[in-house]
Structure 1
Amino acid sequence: HVAVNILPMGLVVFMVIGFIVLGWATPSESASFGALGVVILAVAFGVFTKAAFITSLMGTVRTAGMVFFILMNSTVFSQLLALSGAGAGLVNWTTGFDVAPLVILAAMFLVLLMLGMFMDPVSMMLITVPVFYPVAQALGFDLILFSLIVLIALEMSATTPPFGLLLFIMLGIVKESNLFEVAGAAAPFLVCDLILVILLVAFPMLALYLPGLM
């Protein structure tokens, strides 16, 4: 009975991630295949109704509208940084400190963790990356490695107490729990992510070996 419920969703996951890994589709196309797979499963399990379809459609419109609004404003923000010279000034100011580049990298990592208490990951990425990216480049960090560290920080920030978004999602799912219990359960995963970041910084080839083969 458990397999009957799990295997179909595993197929959807394969349609999204597997198609990308195997080179059968681009990320955007894989997302479309995933949505198609969910619709097929909903029809197969008899839960595809007009009300469910309209609710899903409205949720998609709201999410897409939010993302487009953030993209529009982040583009304006990036252009302002470039045209005003603020981006170059920030790079010069940051690299002027007599500290090791790893200290500045750690500071950027902490900023992302703190912002995650109040912002969603998409907003954080679109606002901070235009600022952090040229700084990381000027400090000599490999940009693939830096991008991976930023993604891990974004994932961790959504689980960071006391206002991490995923903590409140889990509170809504496990209604008999409280914030302290959920945060305590999330702590080991945060520690594992932190260890992963340390390993990536200490041994960059863990992240760069496969891209280096391309």
Structure 2
Amino acid sequence: MPHARTIHSAHPVATRRAFTLIELIVVVVVLGIAAAAIVPKFTGTARQEADNAVDQVAELLRLFAYRQSLSAQQVALWRDGNDGRIHLLVMDSDPEDPEAIPAWRPDRFAAPVSLPLGVELVEIQNNDQRVDPTEWTIASVPGGERPKIAIRIVGMGVDSTVALPQGSPSVVRVDADKPAPFAREPIDLSRAGRDFEPW
């Protein structure tokens, strides 16, 4: 019986090959870089959504000031306690029944503002008096001064106060993590004892 010959090659053939330590380190580094690039985008989206909500509240305050200064109608800001949306209201009569008593109706040109989940109104001030943040109404007085309004909004990394000074048509936004912007406020020189100062 003939003997079987065994052939030995100079290059052994590997049947299985595992990852080397260098390959594993490279994969971990690439995954780390990808995670560092993706995670801030997810958190940044939530912050951007909260920033947009603050801007929408500021725009509603601007519209309130605009309507109050140019219209003979009484205007108000109202937060619905059921759904939490903030509305701009106008004291208006029903167009279908002109003889009816005027009532508060939503402004046709201002969409209500909804706050995203996790963003809350924590403090509302009407002429420096605190108001219940869950449901409130701040109305202008016909023929009188516009109320001074301040709304503090907190959530998703945002802590901002949106203020509408009494005599100013512009809204001021103050973020807790940034220096306060310069805002002009009206002053009564006689009350301040500065009525004889040149200006």
Shorter-chain TM-score above 0.5: no
Structure with more strand by fraction: 2
Scaled by the length of structure 1, the TM-score of the pair is: 0.24
**Larger radius of gyration between Structure 1 and Structure 2:** 2
- Larger relative contact order (CA 8 Å, sep ≥ 6): 2
TM (norm. structure 2) is: 0.25
